[in-house]
Copies of this chain bind each other. A is one copy, B any other.
Amino acid sequence: MYSFTNDYSEGAHPRILQAMMEANLTQNKGYGLDSHSDHARELIRQEIRHPEADIHFIPGGTQTNLIVIASALKPYQAVISAVTGHVNVHETGAIEATGHKVLAMDTADGKLTPALVQQALDSHTDEHMVQPRMVYISNSTEVGTQYTRAELEALSRICRLKGLYLFMDGARMGSALTSPVNDLTLADIADLTDVFYIGGTKNGALLGEAVVILRDELKTDFRFMIKQRGAMMAKGWLLGIQFEELFQNNLFYDMARHGNDMAGRLREAIAGCGWSFASDSRTNQLFPIFTHEVIRELAEDFSFEINQKTDEDHCCIRLVTSWATTEAGVGRFIETLRRLS
């Protein structure tokens, strides 16, 4: 049984584990105030070319989303998201639990547009309704798509014009940035957003996300929020060490590219067998549509998520690759599919 269920089925890249091993018995300051975390922050600041950015390491993505959003909004303010946005669906109401409404917009492809943002603004006009104040996007998105530079610039423009914070969830940032059709860099993203995060958990770290805050007013007292929501790790240097490794020698990009390469092979083979996709993804998540019978057969040797039916006979599944996906696993999947097609 080989798993394409998600990009967090294995542990961490061996170099990361090695670095943790080596530092294991050194005494460190707690709570992210250690030298590894400081060094990792420096590496990221160089990468994004924003020496003034504040950078915090947080164990997981849901925590990061809820802390960033709750930190930025006043009680009556809301965040605009795609209906498919992780904060809208898959976090068990984590944002609402901090008191804020998620204004969920229907999208064609998991991506918000200036028109959708404007539509949310137009329908929230006075104190009887929540006040939209932040735009949440994910890159790559939950359906595997990604923002182009032009699209991000357009979103950034309307956000600045309308006084909305722009927040990018980068749980799968690595996959987005190393996609064959990507034209963005981390430095661009830092230029165009107010706050974003770089995902470690889904790209070869044991755990950890790096929040990058560009906008000054969002920096204030951010550590209070991290602590209050239980996200300030006692042994915070464990996150620092991992991001040191990720941003030395291109490990972050190399791992993500491997995941995309593996997905690319699957994509080509699936299309080659004549199957279509629910979403046009060039990242590490694919959403092919198969017949129920093919899915049943595949499921005997591979694990993956089964999503919604697309018609009576067909269903969409999700295949996820990662830094750890093996060529052998991918090869076997392709072979099996060819046999079934």
Q: Which residues of A contact B (CB under 8 A)?
A: 2-3, 5-6, 8-12, 14, 17, 20-21, 23-30, 59-66, 70-71, 74-76, 78, 89-94, 96-102, 127-131, 201-202, 206-207, 221, 223-235, 238, 324
Q: What's the minimum C-beta distance from A174 to chain B, rounded to whole angstroms?
A: 15
Question: Which one, B6, B9, B21, B96, contacts A17 given CB within 8 A?
Answer: B21
Whole-angstrom distance between the alpha carbons of A76 and B102 in the complex?
15
Q: Which residues from chain B contact A324 at a C-beta distance below 8 Å?
A: 25
Whole-angstrom distance between the alpha carbons of A89 and B92 in the complex?
21
Q: Which residues from chain B contact A226 at a C-beta distance below 8 Å?
A: 127
Q: Which residues from chain B contact A24 at a C-beta distance below 8 Å?
A: 10-12, 14, 17
Q: Which residues from chain B contact A20 at a C-beta distance below 8 Å?
A: 11, 17, 206
Q: What's the minimum C-beta distance from A302 to chain B, rounded to whole angstroms?
A: 11
Docked-complex contact A131 and B224, CB < 8 angstroms: yes
Most chain B CB neighbours (cut-off 10 Å) among A91, A92, A99: A92
Whole-angstrom distance between the alpha carbons of A63 and B59 in the complex?
12
Q: Which residues from chain B contact A12 at a C-beta distance below 8 Å?
A: 24
Q: Which residues from chain B contact A207 at a C-beta distance below 8 Å?
A: 59, 233-235, 238
Question: Which one, B63, B70, B76, B235, contacts A92 given CB within 8 A?
Answer: B76
Docked-complex contact A101 and B93, CB < 8 angstroms: yes
State how many copies of this chain the complex holds: 4
Docked-complex contact A71 and B60, CB < 8 angstroms: no
Whole-angstrom distance between the alpha carbons of A161 and B302 in the complex?
36
Q: What's the minimum C-beta distance from A316 to chain B, rounded to whole angstroms?
A: 15
Whole-angstrom distance between the alpha carbons of A336 and B324 in the complex?
51
Whole-angstrom distance between the alpha carbons of A26 and B2 in the complex?
10
Docked-complex contact B230 and A229, CB < 8 angstroms: yes
Docked-complex contact A224 and B101, CB < 8 angstroms: no
Q: Which residues from chain B contact A101 at a C-beta distance below 8 Å?
A: 93, 96, 102
Docked-complex contact A76 and B225, CB < 8 angstroms: yes
Q: Which residues from chain B contact A74 at a C-beta distance below 8 Å?
A: 71, 221, 224
Q: Look across to chain B and name the residue whose beta carbon is closest to the beta carbon of A18.
A: B21
Can you list 20 residue pairs at the A/B interface with Cβ under 8 Å? A11-B20, A12-B24, A17-B20, A17-B21, A60-B232, A75-B97, A76-B227, A92-B129, A92-B227, A93-B101, A94-B227, A96-B99, A96-B130, A101-B102, A127-B226, A131-B224, A201-B234, A206-B238, A207-B234, A207-B238
Knowing A90-B128, A93-B100 touch, does A60 contact B17 (C-beta < 8 A)?
no
